[in-house]
Amino acid sequence: MEKTAFFDVRSYDRPWFDELAPGAGLELMYLENRLGPDTAILARDCAAVCAFVNDDLGAETLRRLSEYGVRAVALRCAGYNNVDLAAAEQCGIRVFRVPSYSPASVAEHALALLLTLTRQTHRAFTRTRERNFSLEGLVGTNIEGKSVGVVGTGRVGLRFAAMVRGLGARVLAYDPDPQWGAGFEYVRLDELICRSDVISLHCPLTPRTYHMLSRAAFHQMRDGVVLINTSRGALIDSEALLDNVKSGKVGAAGLDVYEEEADVFYEDVSSKVMRDDTLNLLLSQPNVLVTSHQAFLTREALRAIAEVTTDNLRRFFAGEPVENEIGSFEPAGV
Ligand code: NAI
């Protein structure tokens, strides 16, 4: 049995991995700690580590892991912007990921955020629990007939576009690598930003897409625009978002990801003082809905993640080619 240190484990990970690991010849050592330079030592004597989106796989962590004998990192996620791929290559550590597990999970969550905000069901939920049945302040907006800008038409973006088209929206899309023939209009990013009533982000975080929705971009948006981000927090300049929520330029924002999420997302910090004022202020707005990077969290996706991750490791330990390997030749993260 090959030993793998499984960092940042959650109760919802274990049933799927417990079921599949023995068949793949893996012994998993579950750890609640996040992986980083200070916790890398916990992987001593393990040939591989299994990591998630907010684990720190920078150069220092990788250097220490290689000293302790780790030869592979199996990411149980699609994104790899938290991995220094050049450093991994230097240390001789191979990196695998799960390129796609359930695009429908993420697309459906984006739609859930959108419809919750446009019909204010999050506010109705808290009101009726308090026996407040007033409709004051709950006027919604139809998606039918609106222009929905989809930034990135890969696996998730295409599904989201199909869903909103099903609701009768007009889809405007931007992608440097368009899917011609998908049946919607591709436009330049600046045109999408000016013309959309809803903007939903479905592209990777790279140096080029960092703060793609910048302060300048907010100026170009329609008044009352609804923003949905289920991709990566740093696609949006959060300070600029907050200012535009406060001014009313942004009608609503549904955020499953946040620029500085690594410090708080996935944790219960309800009894602690939260120092991030931008997040505090965003959370206090009635038209901002934040979920804790949970768009992937469905039974179907968890099973697929466990299947592909255990198979990546099985192939690695068997000396077989691993189709889902990523190297430093890849763009800087998704
Ligand atoms: P994908 O790789 O299938 O599609 C990404 C698309 O973005 C591609 O079509 C690509 O050409 C396009 N793209 C690249 N650079 C762009 C740019 N500068 N502007 C616009 N589009 C650009 O990825 P997939 O599976 O559709 O996932 C999309 C994103 O969703 C991922 O990058 C990841 O950050 C995020 N994600 C979030 C999860 C969550 O739980 N919140 C779970 C899984 C993925």
Rounded CA gap, 305 and 309, in Å? 6
- 254 in contact with ligand 1, CB cutoff 6 A: no
User: What is the arithmetic mean of pLDDT over 220-238?
Assistant: 98
* SS3 category, 201: strand
49, 70 in Cβ contact below 8 A? yes
DSSP state of 188: -
**Cα distance between residue 143 and residue 256, in whole Å:** 20
Residue 333 Cα to ligand 1 midpoint, Å, equals 10
pLDDT of 112 > 70? The answer is yes
Residue 51 CB burial class (10 angstroms; 0-12, 13-18, ≥19): buried
Residue 138 token pair: 């709950």
User: Is 94 tagged catalytic?
Assistant: no
Q: How far is the CA of 202 from the centre of ligand 1 (A)?
A: 5
Which of the listed residues 76, 81, 175, 297 should we mutate to test ligand 1's pocket, taking the one with most ligand atoms within 8 A of CB? 175
Share of the chain above pLDDT 70, in %: 98
What's the gap between Cα 236 and its chain centre?
13
* Mean pLDDT, the chain, integer: 95
Q: What is the pLDDT of residues 311-330, one digit of tens each?
A: 999 999 999 999 999 985 45
The answer to whether the beta carbons of residues 190 and 221 sit under 8 Å apart is no
The per-residue DSSP string of 140-174 comes to: ---STT-EEEEE--SHHHHHHHHHHHHTTPEEEEE
Quick one: pLDDT at residue 328? 59
Give the Å distances, CA to CA, from 120 to 109, 127, 228, 251.
Answer: 16, 11, 15, 12
CA–CA dist 224, 9 (Å, integer): 40
Q: Label residue 332 by pLDDT band (50, 70, 90).
A: very low
78 touches ligand 1 (CB under 6 Å) = yes
Cβ(27)–Cβ(2) under 8 Å? yes
Q: Is 293 a catalytic residue?
A: yes
pLDDT tens, residue by residue, 150-182: 999 999 999 999 999 999 999 999 999 999 888
pTM of the model: 0.91
- Cβ pair 147, 194 in contact under 8 A: no
Q: 10 Å Cβ neighbour count for 159?
A: 20
Mean pLDDT of 58-77: 97
Taking the centre of ligand 1 as the mean of its atom positions, its distance from the CA of residue 79, in whole angstroms, is 9
User: What per-residue string of b and e applies to 187-217 under the rule 16 or more CB within 10 Å gives b?
Assistant: bebeebbbbbbbbbbbbbbeeebbbbbeeeb
In whole angstroms, what is the distance from residue 279 CA to residue 313 CA? 37
In angstroms, the CA 100 to CA 79 distance is 10
The tens digit of pLDDT for each residue in 273-294 reads 999 999 999 999 999 999 999 9
Q: What are the structural domains, with CATH classification, of the chain?
A: 2-101+299-326 (3.40.50.720), 103-290 (3.40.50.720)
Q: Residues in the chain, how many?
A: 334
